[in-house]
Amino acid sequence: MASIEQVKAALGQAADQGTINAQQIRTAIEATDQTLARLRAVGAGTNHPLVAEAIARTEQSRQRLVEATALLQSSAQAARNYLNAL
């Protein structure tokens, strides 16, 4: 069985990793925003359904990245809260 100090260390590491992962996803969100800008620029003045589909799917992926960031932040905070409770 792990000691309380080992549990605290593992919780701290997990919280830190969650924060790092959330930052990496924020970077992916920024790149996705650039992709959206390019798609919108290319698609300006056209009503082609494939361009609209590409934009819609990219917007959907961006939203899911935002959701993933929020979940990771919540997870890291829960781990820190438990760490502080120990």
Give residue 44's region: left, alpha or beta (phi > 0; psi -120 to 50).
beta
Output the pLDDT for position 45.
84
CA distance 63 to 69: 10
CB 12 within 8 A of CB 83: yes
CATH code, domain with 73: 1.10.287
- Boundaries of domain holding 62: 4-85
pLDDT 10s per residue in the chain (86 long)? 889 999 999 999 999 999 999 999 999 999 999 999 999 999 898 889 999 999 999 999 999 999 999 999 999 999 999 999 99
Number of structural domains (the chain) is 1
Output the pLDDT for position 14.
96
